[in-house]
Amino acid sequence: MPAYKFTGYNQSGTESSGTIEADSLRSAALKIKAKGILPGDITEAEAPAGNGLFKKVTQSELAGITRNLSTLISSGVPLVDAINAISSEQKAGWKHVLLQLKEGLASGASLSRSMQAHPEVFPDFYTGLITAGENSGKLTEVMEKLADFLEGDISIKSKVKTALMYPIFMAGISILIILFLFTFVIPRITRIFEDTSAALPFITLILLWVSTTFQKFWWLILAGFAAASLTLRRLKNNNREFIDSMLLKDPSGILMGLYMLRFTMTMGFLLSGGMPILNSMQLTAKSTGNAALEKKIMNAHKMVSQGSKLSTSLEGFPPTLLQIISTGEQTGRLPEILQKTSASYEADFDRRLQRAINLLEPVLILAMGLIVGFIVIAVLLPIFELNQILN
């Protein structure tokens, strides 16, 4: 809600000034008159400008600030005092932003309006829910839900990173070992074959060719990897929607489960916070992380804006989820049902992810074993043949 600065005169003729929030200039004038002040000049107050200190704020930092703020507010601490207390514990960047929020509140602006001056810190869904909380008088509940949502989203991302950390580490170590073997160890071992006139087995010739390639053209191999990486990145950026549509067909179901988890968790959270369904769909579409799915949600957004139901507008979503959404629409408990469904999707995602990681580990070990076995056979086979010739 906009804030307006005014100057005028009270009933005793004394000049009076201040700031008031109102939906429009006319509404502000009526509110000022209701206070017994004859307004002279009324102008819209500007929200405090952002400081540009935050190029990118981490979600964990925002979650921590939100949790502390919700705890203080729920304990009965006034909003201005709560922000002031939290700012005293922060470093320069956050301290400056929080002090600007405090100044905005002191000048008569709402918390959401003050936050909108810092889009690099507070996302659209964040300020949108704060606005809904202020309008409904449930700011404390909204702050608690925001903290829970941010921490839940961090937990999901942390599970994925933790699960992938060991396989990536194993793959990296395996690659380094293979590079070391082909570059330094194998050339020394294969020198015993240089003085022999006997024909070497085909597998040994392959080993020698690979080792020589690594020794002489390692720079070309690195350049090839770099070029391939840049090409793949460019192809992904230029064909993101097509690639993301292929990801939706992941046979393991892990990625689809992750996308549905994000959809149900975000949509349920935004609706439970009092945000209108059309706004919730716009923000949820951006949070899925899949361009093809985002397009489907925005197509559904257009249909819902024309009067269709959400359950009949979503294309390409699992039938079970659509039936759940339909039930929620019929019972009027869509936010609650979506949140319960997100918990079910999270449990299923955890199981699928752990199963995939448990399968990936032996696959990496098997691949490493096959490469080592290839090297051993390629080295030993000509030695056995030489022994037979000598005997």
pLDDT, tens digit, 9 for 90 and up, residues 20-32: 766 667 777 778 7
Q: Please answer whether residues 198 and 370 qualify as being in contact, where contact means their C-beta atoms are separated by less than 8 angstroms.
A: no
pLDDT digits (tens, 9 = 90+) for 181-212: 887 878 877 777 666 666 778 888 888 888 88
Domain extents in the chain: 3-44, 59-151, 254-350
Contacts for 91 with CB less than 8 Å, ≥ 6 apart: none
Among left, alpha and beta (phi > 0; psi -120 to 50; other), residue 57 is beta
Output the pLDDT for position 243.
87
CA angle 279, 106, 69 (to 5 degrees): 60
Residue 330: what residue type? Q
Tokens 């919730």 locate to: 280
Classify domain 59-151 at the CATH class level. Answer: mainly alpha
pLDDT digits (tens, 9 = 90+) for 81-140: 999 888 888 877 788 888 888 888 887 888 888 888 888 888 888 888 888 888 878 888
Q: Are strands 37-44 and 15-21 parallel, antiparallel or unpaired?
A: unpaired
Contacts for 256 with CB less than 8 Å, ≥ 6 apart: 248, 250, 318
Q: CATH homologous superfamily for 254-350?
A: Type II secretion system (T2SS), domain F (1.20.81.30)
Using pLDDT thresholds of 50, 70 and 90, give the confidence band for residue 52.
very low
Name the percent of the chain lying above pLDDT 90: 17
Which parts of the chain are beta strand (E)? 3-10, 15-21, 37-44
The per-residue pLDDT of the chain, averaged, comes to 83
